[in-house]
Structure 1
Amino acid sequence: MKNVMWKGQLQGNIQLDTIADKTNLYGLGPVEYLTGEILILDGKSYKSTVTSDTTMLVEETYNLKAPFFGYANISKWKEQNLPENIQTIQELEQYLDKETKASQRPFMFKLSGAVEQATIHIVNLPKGSKVSSPDQAHEGQINYKLENEQAEIVGFFSTEHKAIFTHHDTYLHMHLITADRKKMGHLDDVLFQKGAVKLYLPAE
């Protein structure tokens, strides 16, 4: 991520269809040249692109390149109910940090359930743009508000990768997709519905 934000290396370094083992594959990152978002959920790859300030296109495809991409093959998950007092990204980050002190890090996780509200974005860098700062990398980005959606979230947790794979002020990088597969993007803000979300952590 640092290379993308600060050095302007926007071209795709990772060709997604060359990931040989797609069984139980999970992953997330941006489309090359920061023209969309990518989410791989249980071996299916989704790309979202901006079509207007209020609409987007979500397609299922592996024909994609990404400048950076985090992925893992996870066949077994430990399922638990997300505690009712965990409703925001900040609360989730603190909870995961506390709960996984003894676990292998970094790790990928997923969430499934009801969100009362969420804000997701899709990067949408104008063609030919040069990037030398995070602000420029987010030029053209569109934010979308969601309300009362059933959704799945794939996330990456790392205390070591701030600004490399997570943003500089967080341990988390998450992409959300709605149950109807019509909306997907980078998760910026969320209010989970109390008692209506499952958390899945990799089973060692």
Structure 2
Amino acid sequence: MLNNKTLFILLVLFCFNCKSNKEKEEQNTTYSDVVSVSAMKDVMWKGELFSKIQLDTIKPKKGLYGIGPEAYLRGEILINNGKTYVSRVLTDSTMTVEEITDAKAPFFVYANVNDWNTIELPRSVKSIKDLETFIDNQTKDQKRPFAFKLEGSISKATIHIQNLPEGTKVSSPKEAHQGQTNYQIENENVEIIGFFSTEHQGVFTHHDSFLHMHLITKNKKQMGHLDDAVFNEMSLLLPKS
């Protein structure tokens, strides 16, 4: 028969295990085909800059797409069809873009998509706000949230890379964006990986948008979070239902 001390220890271990499982469930949440790890708001407001996921642990790699910042906000991450790219600031006009398998992120969103429907983006869709409205109208009857792709040419775009000074403490979005460096892109062929949701502002989209997108140029020399764009000839790829 178990004594009181042993029963107490077992009870503590049971409670700890339940708490750990609950935290894990809250940290990694699946919505239809999309997996969200932690949340943007935890980085911005709570200063949780440390790694919540190591990206080489995500399986399978086939058809894998994902976006998020690098741990400690020292760069930007993009997974494009199973290949992981990390961009980092060199100067206010130059960057590095490397293919790195074991990148780490403080929050991240990803999905596996192997079958796409392709739509030619109407000429009337020029801005990110236009794109948000168009995607929303096109997908009223589809599962949400979802990943999407854009392929083609842009007239111009603004992307940024986070470059938080080492050792910086963060308790607000303003503090989190210290060191952020913006880059201008003109007349380039690009791929854009994005995620759409009307219900995850502050989780994997910003508080004022239903979209989160990272852009990479076809030559793989520039990559970052997409802030502004003027679209030219683009194809929109949406997951097949």
Q: Which amino acid aligns with 2:235?
A: K
Distance (whole Å) between structure 2 residues aligned to residue 15 and residue 181 of structure 1: 22
Distance (whole Å) between structure 2 residues aligned to residue 52 and residue 157 of structure 1: 31
Determine helix, strand or coil for the equivalent of 1:135.
helix
- Displacement of 1:127: 0.2
The structure where helix makes up a greater share of residues is 2
Q: Which amino acid aligns with 1:28?
A: I
Distance (whole Å) between structure 1 residues aligned to residue 202 and residue 230 of structure 2: 24
Q: Is residue 227 of structure 2 the alignment partner of residue 202 of structure 1?
A: no
User: Where do 5+ consecutive residues of structure 1 fail to align?
Assistant: none
* Aligned residue number for residue 113 of structure 2: 74
* Aligned residue number for residue 177 of structure 2: 138
Distance (whole Å) between structure 2 residues aligned to residue 174 and residue 9 of structure 1: 22
- Displacement of 1:20: 2.1
User: Where do 5+ consecutive residues of structure 2 fail to align?
Assistant: 1-39
The structure where strand makes up a greater share of residues is 1
Tell me: higher relative CO, structure 1 or 2? Use CA pairs within 8 A at least 6 residues apart.
Answer: 1
Distance (whole Å) between structure 2 residues aligned to residue 52 and residue 35 of structure 1: 13
- Displacement of 1:98: 1.0
Distance (whole Å) between structure 2 residues aligned to residue 134 and residue 156 of structure 1: 21
Task: Encode CA deviations 1:72-110: one digit per residue, 9 max, x unaligned.
Answer: 110000011001100100000011111111110000100
TM score, norm. by length of structure 2: 0.83
Distance (whole Å) between structure 2 residues aligned to residue 5 and residue 38 of structure 1: 17
Distance (whole Å) between structure 1 residues aligned to residue 119 and residue 128 of structure 2: 17
1:56 is matched with which residue: 95, 115, 121? 95
Please give the residue correspondences for 1:13-32 in structure 2 after superposition, counting only pairs within 5 Å.
13-32=52-71
Q: Which amino acid aligns with 1:198?
A: S
Distance (whole Å) between structure 2 residues aligned to residue 5 and residue 150 of structure 1: 32
What do you get for the CA RMSD once the two structures are aligned?
Answer: 0.5
TM score, norm. by length of structure 1: 0.98
Distance (whole Å) between structure 1 residues aligned to residue 174 and residue 210 of structure 2: 20
Number of positions where the alignment pairs a residue of Structure 1 with one of Structure 2: 202
Please give the residue correspondences for 1:1-204 in structure 2 after superposition, counting only pairs within 5 Å.
1-193=40-232, 196-204=233-241
Determine helix, strand or coil for the equivalent of 1:53.
coil
Q: Which amino acid aligns with 2:240?
A: A
Which consecutive aligned stretches of 4+ in structure 1 deviate over 4 angstroms post-superposition?
Answer: none
Distance (whole Å) between structure 2 residues aligned to residue 6 and residue 128 of structure 1: 16
Q: Which has the larger Rg? A: 2
- Displacement of 1:112: 0.3
What is the identity percentage for the equivalent residue pairs of Structure 1 and Structure 2? 58
Task: Encode CA deviations 1:115-140: one digit per residue, 9 max, x unaligned.
Answer: 00000000000000001011111100
- Displacement of 1:168: 0.4
Determine helix, strand or coil for the equivalent of 2:92.
coil
